[in-house]
Each structure stands twice: as structure tokens, then as C-alpha cells.
Chain A
Amino acid sequence: MKKFTKIASTCLPIETENIDTDQIVPARFLKITTREGFGKYLFYDWRFDKNGKPKENKYFDYSNNRSIKILVAGNNFGCGSSREHAVWALQDFGFETIISSSFGDIFYNNCLKNALLPVVLKPVELNKLFKILEKNSKTKITIDLIDQEVIVGDNYIFSFPIDNFRKTCLLKGVDELGYIFSHEKNISAFERRHQIFISR
């Protein structure tokens, strides 16, 4: 897994709430059996018409978007389906952090597993951030995982929560699998005493 410590970037604000993973990557693109290349399907039905031609939309244009590392999204981002493809698509498109006031549970977990940092702000803070970005879309913000802070210019610092264990994994760039394997003895011992009633 990639390390995450600190990034600074301009942001793409999408105020829409309840953006589900079907919007992030429509189901018909989930047929691919690899992890790569999902960026082109990101928000596909928002960005393209039924003939695959780019369509007028509020959020995406083709000049600069892919250099933006931070997506700021409305409440309850990534609700719905468990598809990790949504995370792969956001990352492949260039995003490294998603800020919202809450996330779908499975999506949030999927982000952490891929070092796409999900940042939860309080609703008032998120609104403030949207306002700032509305005034100046070029505002650069810094995400500092060590201090758990979103730093907006000189004026605002918002702190965000994250599970300590997951934070360490992100800072070190290690996934959870190694940790789970280190408990092999415990797992085997558990299996000896645990009863499962599935029978053939």
C-alpha cells in the first residue's frame, strides 16, 4: 500500500449529497477483472452522454481536473453498493483525499484499504469549506494526516478523526494483511475451540 502523510492541492467541490457508488462508477463498468484503468469511468454518466461524448456538466472539464488531488463532497458520500471499484476510479482519476461530513461505511473502509484518505469534517466545517471554494476555486488546502488537520490557507484549520491503527497503516504504507497473518497462532487456536454448524 502507498504511504500517506501530507498533501497540498486545489479541490474539486461537488456539493451534491448522498452520492452513491453507482454514480461514482456505474455498474455496467464493473465487468473488468483488474484494478487498473477505472478513472475513465469515474462519474461516467455525469461526464458523458449516451454516445460517449463529453457532456456539459458543472464539475468536470478536460483541462485541469486530473491534477486536483482533493474531492470535497456533500454529506453521505459513497453510500450504496460495496464496489471497491469506486475507490479505484477516484484514485485512478488522481484523487488522494475525499472530504465530506459522512461516508458510506463500506466505502470508508475501502478508502482506507487503498490509501485514499477519507476525511470527515463536521457539517458546519464542510459548509464553510464549500463557501470558501465557491469564493475562490483556486484555494489550495493541505491535508496533514500526522496532525489530523485540514489546513485552509492561513485562516482555517479543521481537525478530523481517524482510527489510530488505520492511521499508522497509512503513515507506514502497510496493509492489514501482514498484521492479520502475524496472529496465525491465535487464529488456529480460535478455530480449535469455535463451532460452526455448516454441515454437508
Chain B
Amino acid sequence: MKSRTLFQKIWDNHVVTQEKGAPVLLYIDAHILHEVTTPQAFANLRKKGLKVRRAGLTFATCDHNVSTIDQHNIRDAISRLQVETLYKNCHDFGIPLYGLDSPYQGIVHVIGPELGITQPGMTIVCGDSHTSTHGAFGNLSFGIGTTEVEYVLATQCLLQNPMKTMKIIIDGKLGKGVSAKDIILTVISKIGTKGGVGYCIEYTGETIKELNMEERMTICNMSIEAGARAGMIAPDDITFNYLKGRKFSPKGKKWDGAVKYWKTLKSDKDAKYDNVIKIDAGKIAPLITWGTDPSTGITTKEKIPNPKYAKSENERKNMERALSYMDLKPGMKLEGFPINYVFIGSCTNARLSDLREASKIIKGRKVKNGVNAWVVPGSRQVKLAAEKEGLDKIFKDAGFDWRWSGCSACIAMNDDKIPAGKYCISTSNRNYEGRQGPGARTFLASPIMAAAAAIEGKIVDVRKYL
């Protein structure tokens, strides 16, 4: 048989049929829903008199609109209606819901893996671009629009053309203070925000193999920020150990059978990719973005680039626009630049290990006067586990707000917004204009970089704390 990539193996295993001249009819193994991108899909099901084909493969939670201060009290009436609409839809169509009264509530891309829904070899979709996160388990996961949500609810299938494949090999030893976030920010700065358009990226290499599942999720999560719809990492013992004993993981004999199959899920040695990129992990440093797209990561000591030297007219305009929005000047270094807000949260960096690492920097120190610092755990389970370890106390003692789980200031659809003109160092994934609130200015960085900035009230290289 022809050598195949991991992507091709998973793809082939989900082809229901393909007619000449038509895309592949692809079967979907798991479908995760949240309140924002699903109401119109259910409305159409009702209008057309359709049922949900596999309610047992469909899972829902609410995260985007949720208040992180008082979860049961969503003050905004329209937000509340959206959450209530999800409740009603799940109830009417028999879909399991991990809502505000559930100990499993949380950000879609945090609870999927946590509950063991996310497994190797699957196809997983969600009306959310960061669905790429789940690919960390060696599966094909990608974000879809609301019309596609409707199709999957009704048929458990999608019409798809295969993606191109890109292999990103990361070898070498990571330096002190360099985290998964810095790896993916480096990847994005290398290939650009559209370098991955049309691709499924497979991350591989010695560095990746040594990362834990949460770090792998951080990397796959931001594949979309390079334009790729999907990212994946071949499953291994680290993956299997993570999954063992989780709520929806296979049990007993089924577990053994599953692991046997999962072990076959890797790219063949001479499999062909459409693109191959190599990155030396030893050269990666803690990064922070200066601009309004995630490809603008630089070290704190590097100078903000000058639009004068842009490679093209268009790039020059983009840079000027970003500098003006961020109110920064070319040639400046970010080291020492004052910040107003610190947000440790989101589906990129709000899992237990993220909070643990940040807490090590925070422990015994205080948040700088005048800085608003929030920790928003990615799920109720993360919050609970962190509290068991006393992490909440470390953060609270330092002056952080310790919140309930939700998307929070990653998207500012809820009460958590960064005010216009203010600077926020954020562990989330998007620094677009207005993403954290109209006029808000975002610096993307790792949890430990955010923690160090909280203490000093300005951007610093976290390595001085290590």
C-alpha cells in the first residue's frame, strides 16, 4: 500500500462515499456545540422538520457569553437568551449539555479533551475555529460554520475536499522559560497568518514528542492563526496516559482495542507532504506580539520593525495600521512597556499546567499596583483541580482575580472586556483590533510571561525569574 500521512489515514477512514465530480462525504465522529454558532442551525432543523442523527455523538456547553464572576447571573439579556436557547435546543433534541449547573462546564476546547471525548483517529468538528486544538490527540479536528453545524446535526456528515498537508518538524532542546506558546508564535511568525491556508499541519520532531498533552493542545490550538484549519500531532504513550480513565474514554477490553488501533496512527516513514518546514527549538525565545495579528511575535529585546523596510506596499500599510492602533513606534523595544491588564485564560492557555507554571512565578509576589490581573480557568474541572493544589490561593494572595470558567476576555462577548486604549498582556490567541473589547490593545504571550508582567506592571523577559 502507498505510504500515507496521518492526515490521509484518518481521512480515508472517514470517507463514506465519493461520487465523480463531487467532494468526499466525510463522516464526523464527534460534534461539540456552544451557544454562539448553533442557534440558527437548530432553527433550520425545526423549520425543515429534521432530527439530530447522532445525539450521542454530540456534546454541548456554554462558554462565550458566560459571566466569570457570577456564572448563574448573565446580566445581559441577549447573552442570557443565547445560553437559554442552547439549553432548550439540547433539551428538545436530546443532546447532552454541560451547562452552567454542570461540574464539567468550560470552554469547548478544554472540556472535549478533559472528558475524553477527544480521542485519536477521530473526526471532530465544532462551530468554532479553534477546534484545531483537539488535533493534539492525533485526530482530524476543524472549525465549521453554522450551516455546516446544521448539516452535521442532521446527517453526521460533511462534504469536504481533502486538505493539503504540511509537516512542521521541531527538533532540539527548548531553553529555559520557553513554552509551547512560544513555539506556536514562532511557527506563525515564520509562515505568516495565511501560510497555512488550505493545509492540515502535522507537528512532529523530538521537541513535540516531549511535550505534555496540554502543551500540544496550545500548539494545535493556534494552527488557525497561521491560516490552517487543522493541526495534529501523532498520538503516543503521553496521549494514551492522558486519556485513560476519562469519562468518555473506552474502558476495559475496549480500551485495549482502542490503544491497539491508536498505535497505528502515525505517518508512514516515506509519506509525502505538500510542504515541510523545520524549526530549531533551541533558537526559540519567549515571544510577545506587538501588532494586531498573531504573526508579530518578537522578544522583549528586539526592536519593533519599521514599516519603511516592509517587503511590500501592502505589508507597509498593514504595519502602519497596527502601529497606530497599538500606539507603538517602530524601533521601540517592548521590554519595560507598561501594561494595564493581565489575562490568563482562554482555550489556548488556561489548563492546569498553564496555571501551575504561572503560579510559580507569582508565588510570594504581588501584582503591581494599578494592574488588573485575572485568572480564568478553562473549565470547572481545571478550576477545581487548581484549587485542590492551592493555586487559587497563590493567585489571590498576589492580587489576581480568581474567576469562574469561560471564554472571558479572549472575546469580550461577556462582561470581561479590556477598556479602549488599555494594554492587556493576554494568554489568548488573537490580538485583532477590538478582539478584547472595542479599542483594546492586546499583547499575546505565554502564561509565565503574563505572570511576570503582572508583577512588574510592564513587559519583561520572564527568564529573569527563573
**Residues of A in contact with B (beta carbons under 8 Å apart):** 15-18, 20, 22-23, 26-28, 30-35, 45, 50, 74-76, 79-84, 87, 102-106, 109-110, 113-114, 163-165, 175-177, 179-181, 183, 186-187, 190-191, 194-200
Q: How far is the CB of A98 from chain B (nearest CB, A)?
A: 15
Nearest-CB residue, chain A, relative to B117? A198
Given A82-B37, A183-B16, A200-B248, output 4 extra A-B contacts at Cβ < 8 Å: A30-B64, A50-B420, A176-B151, A191-B27
Do the beta carbons of A16 and B318 come within 8 Å of each other? yes
Which residues of A sit under 8 angstroms from B227, Cβ to Cβ?
76, 79, 104-105
Given contacts A50-B439, A197-B258, contact A177 B317 (CB under 8 A): no
Residue among A17, A79, A187 making CB contact with B27, cutoff 8 Å = A187
Interface 1/0 per residue, B138-178 and A, CB below 8 Å:
00000111111011001111010100000000000000000
Given contacts A79-B193, A179-B22, contact A198 B119 (CB under 8 A): yes
Which residues of A sit under 8 angstroms from B439, Cβ to Cβ?
50
Report how far A114 CA is from B147 CA in the complex, Å.
8
Do the beta carbons of A23 and B434 come within 8 Å of each other? yes
B364 interface hit (Cβ, 8 Å): no
Do the beta carbons of A187 and B156 come within 8 Å of each other? yes
**Residues of B in contact with A (beta carbons under 8 Å apart):** 13-14, 16-17, 21-23, 25, 27, 29-30, 36-37, 39-40, 43, 56-57, 64-65, 76, 78-79, 81-82, 85, 116-117, 119, 122, 127-129, 143-148, 150-151, 154-157, 159, 161, 193-194, 197-198, 224, 227, 229, 247-251, 254, 257-258, 261, 293, 314-315, 317-318, 321, 411-413, 420, 430, 432-435, 438-439
Residue among A84, A183, A190, A199 making CB contact with B146, cutoff 8 Å = A84
Do the beta carbons of B145 and A109 come within 8 Å of each other? yes
Report how far A186 CA is from B156 CA in the complex, Å.
12
- Offer 10 A-B interface pairs, CB within 8 angstroms, sorted by A: A33-B40, A34-B39, A76-B197, A103-B197, A113-B145, A179-B22, A183-B157, A186-B25, A196-B57, A197-B254
Do the beta carbons of B144 and A106 come within 8 Å of each other? yes
Do the beta carbons of B40 and A34 come within 8 Å of each other? yes
Which residues of A sit under 8 angstroms from B247, Cβ to Cβ?
200
Given contacts A106-B129, A163-B161, contact A76 B193 (CB under 8 A): yes
Which residues of B sit under 8 angstroms from A165, Cβ to Cβ?
21-23, 159
Q: How far is the CB of B464 from chain A (nearest CB, A)?
A: 34
Do the beta carbons of A27 and B16 come within 8 Å of each other? no
Do the beta carbons of A15 and B81 come within 8 Å of each other? no
Do the beta carbons of A31 and B79 come within 8 Å of each other? yes
Report how far A11 CA is from B363 CA in the complex, Å.
57
Do the beta carbons of B413 and A27 come within 8 Å of each other? yes
Which residues of B sit under 8 angstroms from A82, Cβ to Cβ?
37, 127-129, 143-145
Which residues of A sit under 8 angstroms from B64, Cβ to Cβ?
27, 30
Report how far A15 CA is from B315 CA in the complex, Å.
11
Q: How far is the CB of B150 from chain A (nearest CB, A)?
A: 7
Which residues of B sit under 8 angstroms from A80, Cβ to Cβ?
129, 224, 430, 432
Which residues of A sit under 8 angstroms from B147, Cβ to Cβ?
84, 110, 113-114, 175
Residue among A50, A106, A163 making CB contact with B23, cutoff 8 Å = A163
Do the beta carbons of A27 and B151 come within 8 Å of each other? no
Number of A-B contacts (CB under 8 A): 193
Do the beta carbons of B193 and A18 come within 8 Å of each other? yes
Q: How far is the CB of B392 from chain A (nearest CB, A)?
A: 28
Do the beta carbons of A15 and B434 come within 8 Å of each other? no
Which residues of B sit under 8 angstroms from A35, Cβ to Cβ?
40, 43
Report how far A22 CA is from B433 CA in the complex, Å.
8
Q: How far is the CB of B429 from chain A (nearest CB, A)?
A: 10
Q: How far is the CB of B32 from chain A (nearest CB, A)?
A: 12
Which residues of A sit under 8 angstroms from B129, Cβ to Cβ?
80-82, 106
Residue among B128, B151, B156 making CB contact with A177, cutoff 8 Å = B151
Which residues of A sit under 8 angstroms from B119, Cβ to Cβ?
197-198
Which residues of A sit under 8 angstroms from B81, Cβ to Cβ?
31, 33
Do the beta carbons of A190 and B321 come within 8 Å of each other? no
Which residues of A sit under 8 angstroms from B318, Cβ to Cβ?
16-18
Report how far A172 CA is from B453 CA in the complex, Å.
57
Which residues of B sit under 8 angstroms from A45, Cβ to Cβ?
433-434, 438
Report how far A113 CA is from B224 CA in the complex, Å.
21
Report how far A82 CA is from B197 CA in the complex, Å.
14
Nearest-CB residue, chain B, relative to A109? B145
Nearest-CB residue, chain B, relative to A50? B438
Which residues of A sit under 8 angstroms from B432, Cβ to Cβ?
20, 22-23, 80
Do the beta carbons of B65 and A31 come within 8 Å of each other? yes
Report how far A183 CA is from B119 CA in the complex, Å.
27
Do the beta carbons of A83 and B37 come within 8 Å of each other? yes
Which residues of B sit under 8 angstroms from A175, Cβ to Cβ?
147
Residue among A27, A83, A164, A197 making CB contact with B412, cutoff 8 Å = A27
Which residues of B sit under 8 angstroms from A180, Cβ to Cβ?
25, 151, 154-155, 157, 159
Report how far A195 CA is from B315 CA in the complex, Å.
48
Report how far A164 CA is from B19 CA in the complex, Å.
13
Do the beta carbons of A33 and B434 come within 8 Å of each other? no
Nearest-CB residue, chain A, relative to B321? A16
Report how far A114 CA is from B150 CA in the complex, Å.
13
Which residues of B sit under 8 angstroms from A28, Cβ to Cβ?
412-413
Q: How far is the CB of A147 from chain B (nearest CB, A)?
A: 19
Which residues of A sit under 8 angstroms from B293, Cβ to Cβ?
18, 20
Do the beta carbons of A194 and B154 come within 8 Å of each other? no
Which residues of B sit under 8 angstroms from A113, Cβ to Cβ?
145, 147-148
Which residues of A sit under 8 angstroms from B151, Cβ to Cβ?
176-177, 180
Report how far A49 CA is from B151 CA in the complex, Å.
38
Report how far A83 CA is from B37 CA in the complex, Å.
7
